[in-house]
Amino acid sequence: MGLTLTEKILKAHLVDGEFVKGREIGIRIDQTLTQDATGTMAYLEFEAIGVPRVKTERSVAYIDHNTLQSGFENADDHRFIGSVAKKHGIYFSRPGNGICHQVHLERFGIPGKTLIGSDSHTPTGGGIGMIAIGAGGLDVAVAMGGGAYYITYPKIVKVNLTGKLSPWVAAKDVILEVLRRLSVKGGVGKVIEYCGEGVKTLTVPERATITNMGAELGATTSVFPSDEVTLEFLKAQDRAEVWTELKADEDAVYDEEVDIDLSKIVPMAACPHSPDNVKTVEEIGKLKIDQVCIGSCTNSSFMDMMKVAYILKGKTVHPDVSLAIAPGSKQVLNMIAQNGALATMIDAGARILESACGPCIGMGQSPNSKGVSLRTFNRNFEGRSGTKDGQIYLVSPEMAALSALTGYLTDPRELGEMPVFEMPRQFVINDNMVEPPAAEADMDSVEVLRGPNIKPYPETHPLVESIECPVSLKVGDNITTDHIMPAGAKILPLRSNIPAISQHCFTVCDEDFPRRAKNLGKSIIVGGVNYGQGSSREHAALAPLYLGIKAVLVKSFARIHRANLINAGILPLTFVNEADYDKISQGDDLAIENVRADIAAGKTELTVINRTKGVEIPVLCELTGRTKDIMLAGGLLDYTRESLR
């Protein structure tokens, strides 16, 4: 029986466990990346582990999230990250060099390698045939120290692509179609592997758009084969020597299969407030818009920018619309500046932003109240834009650009005949904004620079004998990490200061939660289905840890957030019977007796006693040997330090 591409790469990197579906495996990590919103904490954790120099083949620290420097905090974090990188063997991508996933695809990604990043859209690397996975910062720190990265051995879904996209239909529409079919939780515990004759019709940037938004499926990652299209992209980046042909065996067996005829896909949009709330442009109708934002790690490539410039050429942005464009990297910005496309955008009235994440994480460009904003981004969660009642639609760059001219949501097929947009034979190569680390012989002379906003990792303790505390918060289904730990220009600068940022924890749902949780001293959170979907930010676990959360009891978890809770030493529990969710109210006193002994003994079913209502509720706590030991130790940091000793 042949192997899938996913199985080939995972087996080549296996260091612990067996290839049995649903079992935990540990894989060797070749590359890591961090960004500055998660990086400061990741490097504090790496320092705490005590390994002097990274043991990966390549680790890169990017500055792309907190680039709005309205106070000292972000600049101090950047200085800290730069100095840690220089000292410990990490490459440092300076502010202005671009968005981590775009730059990594261009300059560092290698087919067949493993990559984990402290950002949920790390699967972008699957566009060139990597197994690239989003993870918590502590997982990245452990990998940099030479530790394995652990995942549940996934189911593998074959998405068989046939045909070819019609003119003005985009790769964004492909992933929106997948989301429409599978939903935001349809990829949990799975890798999405793209195969079929249709693959060769897609460029690497188009493939990367599709794998990028695989994160919105809840998938472990997504991957394309490495073929002649991949080779041409790497040649144009002067990196042909890293290419390897990689594909699934003809007789590979998949757990699920999905067939998509690219020729039948039409322009679509994800409507507020979820990436899987997908409708065709015809279904939505003539929607008046207020704002258009083009960019993010999903759609900011050179090819995206060239299509946008073509549509805008000789036109003027509608007077009722604000158009903002952020090229994804310095390379892209340089190239459109040199060939005149940037001037075309400026002439049309576009507002040019720096090569960074910007509006995608609520860092500027928030729409007006109740404003309709078309964005080429990957998420449209409520309030994520920075405007609580903003109406965010996720669309292709082609639809975004044309709609900016007309003032309403417009089908890009109205543009008529589509010219041929060809990938460049040679990209402009200039890595002068990537600082290499100090030589190993010189690392001791490098001083790590810390600002006053940088606080240590929250205090942790081994798992207690019994948990007895009230429910400080009860929430519903599809709670995102933006609900738990919001982003935005006001809050992101506090990512290196857990005591300060914890004051914003869950305030989207309940403004009194931080004060109430802190006053209680210890408490439990209860939630619904798909709890913790969205970003990989471990702050959504660290802030609750600081506020005294001992356990989170929900109907189901998103993968990365559950891992982050375990890493933080917070007990992740799920209802055996989802109907028992209704037997608990906020404020109820709960008890989990003898929890340490039960977990140490390997029990997976525990009992939660609701003392207020006088009922017993069976819950699952499914921990493997390793995650069990992490929980008993009080978290991954304590477990790793003990292991190194």
Helices (H) and strands (E) in the chain, counts: 21, 27
Catalytic one among 13, 107, 379, 562?
Answer: 379
Residue listed under structure tokens 């400061």:
40
Retrieve residue 384's tokens. 């994520």
| Active site (annotated) includes residue 65 | yes
Query: What CA–CA distance (Å, rounded) separates 224 from 248?
Result: 10
| Rounded CA separation 597/268 (Å) | 52
Decide if 173 is catalytic: no
> Could you tell me the CA-to-CA distances from 68 to 89, 95, 101, 161, 355 in Å, in that order?
27, 10, 19, 40, 12
R_g over Cα of the chain: 24
Q: Which of 65, 78, 107, 384 is catalytic?
A: 65
Q: Which of 30, 36, 64, 139 is catalytic?
A: 64
Q: Is residue 488 a contact partner of residue 361, using CB atoms and an 8 Å limit?
A: yes
Rounded distance, CA 68 to CA 386, Å? 14
Whose CA is closest to 356, among 73, 34, 84, 101?
Answer: 101
Provide the CA 558 distance to its chain's centre, in angstroms: 12
Of 59, 183, 535, 536, the catalytic one is 535
Q: Is 379 a catalytic residue?
A: yes
Q: Which of 12, 1, 288, 291 is nearest to 129 (CA)?
A: 12
On whether the CB atoms of residues 41 and 119 are closer than 8 A, the answer is no
Residues in the chain: 645
DSSP letters, 292-313, are EEE-TTTS-SHHHHHHHHHHHT
* Interacting residues of 314 by C-beta distance below 8 A, sequence separation 6+: none
Distance between the two ends of the chain, CA-based, in angstroms?
Answer: 43
Question: Which ranges in 158-287 belong to alpha helices (H)?
Answer: 171-182, 204-212, 228-236, 281-284
C-alpha distances in Å from residue 181, one per residue of 151, 206, 258, 385 = 25, 20, 9, 25
Please tell me which residue in 207, 239, 483, 537 is annotated as part of the active site: 537
| Cα–Cα distance, 44 to 455 (Å, whole number) | 9
- Judge if the upstream peptide bond of residue 273 is cis by omega within 30 degrees of 0: yes
Q: For residue 358, what are the contacts with CB-CB under 8 A and spacing of at least 6?
A: 67, 293, 295, 296, 324, 326, 364, 365
Burial (CB < 10 A; 0-12, 13-18, 19+), residue 356, is buried
**Candidate list 30, 36, 119, 304, residue with the active-site label:** 119
DSSP states along 180-217: HHH-TTTTBTEEEEEESGGGGGS-HHHHHHHHHGGGGG
Amino acid making up residue 216: E
Amino acid at residue number 26: G
The single-letter code of the amino acid at 373 is: S
Would you please indicate which residues are annotated as catalytic (active-site) residues?
64-65, 119, 379, 535, 537
